[in-house]
């Protein structure tokens, strides 16, 4: 059963702590993406990766970091430098990089910073 | 930076009424995609439009891409309660990443 998994579904952290969100895909997709969704807002791109060991900043990368050591995994770290980290985080993948390709989304992680 | 504007932000309809959401860009888009996000869920791809003036249909859903490739619309005929959710358009310029609109949240009263 192919797809994208994100864990955990809900995450609570204290202010000032770094937290890492997991994203795993078994679709054999080259490209992976991280988006942030706030109420009433669209999806904003944080980071994306077109190939293993390579990633690029999106529109709102400040306060976040990523790694892409394996094709199937693209974890996102929300650092203490992110001023407003409480949000719904969505991971996505596409078969090949580029905007012409359908993106498949994971179920998301809802992060709350107390 | 490039923006994709989507209106309306909310739409409440009676079941059986039609629904339309509009997407506009100040710059020419290479393509546009539409996604649906059910309440509590994640976005799911519906369709992609690439050609100027393109029209595609999926059962009760009709998607259009403007002649100038700067606007798009999604029209649902005779809404059903299963249509509830937020509909997002996402466009890009050539070689760029997708830029998502803020979405239109549709509620359907039975």
User: Lowest mean pLDDT: which of A24-33, A98-107, B5-14, B27-36?
Assistant: A98-107
Distance between terminal CA atoms of chain B? Answer: 41
Q: What is the largest CA-CA distance in chain B?
A: 43
| Residue B17 to residue B10: CA distance in whole angstroms | 15
Whether residue A1 is predicted with pLDDT greater than 70 in this model: the reply is no
Rounded to a whole number of angstroms, the distance from the CA of B48 to the nearest CA of chain A is 8
The dihedral built from the CA positions of residue B89, B102, B12 and A103, taken in this order, carries a sign that is positive
Contact B43 A106 (CB under 8 A): no
Distance between terminal CA atoms of chain A? Answer: 36
Rounded to a whole number of angstroms, the distance from the CA of A61 to the nearest CA of chain B is 14
Selecting from B4, B31, B45 the residue whose C-beta is nearest the C-beta of A103 gives B45
pLDDT band at B96 (very low <50, low <70, confident <90, very high): confident
Contacts of B86 in chain A (CB under 8 A): none
pLDDT of residue B47: 97
Contacts of B103 in chain A (CB under 8 A): 42
């Amino acid at each position: 059963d192919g797809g994208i998994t994100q864990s955990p579904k809900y995450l609570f952290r204290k202010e000032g702590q770094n937290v890492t969100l997991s994203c795993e895909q078994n679709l054999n997709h080259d490209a992976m993406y991280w988006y942030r969704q706030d109420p009433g807002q669209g999806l904003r791109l944080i980071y994306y990766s077109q190939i293993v060991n390579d990633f690029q900043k999106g529109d709102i990368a400040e306060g976040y970091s990523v790694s892409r050591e394996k094709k199937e995994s693209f974890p996102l770290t929300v650092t203490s430098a992110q001023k407003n980290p409480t949000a719904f985080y969505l991971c996505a993948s596409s078969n090949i990089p580029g905007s012409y390709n359908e993106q498949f989304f994971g179920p998301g992680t809802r992060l709350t910073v107390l | 930076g490039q923006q994709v504007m989507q209106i309306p932000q909310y739409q409440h309809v009676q079941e059986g009424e039609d629904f339309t959401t509009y997407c506009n860009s100040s710059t020419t888009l290479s393509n546009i995609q539409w996604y649906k996000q059910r309440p509590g869920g994640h976005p799911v791809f519906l369709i992609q439009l690439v050609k100027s003036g393109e029209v595609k249909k999926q059962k009760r859903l009709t998607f259009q891409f403007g002649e100038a490739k700067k606007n798009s619309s999604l029209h649902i005929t005779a809404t059903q309660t299963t249509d509830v959710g937020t509909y997002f358009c996402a466009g890009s310029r050539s070689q760029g990443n997708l830029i998502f609109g803020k979405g239109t949240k549709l509620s359907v009263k039975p």
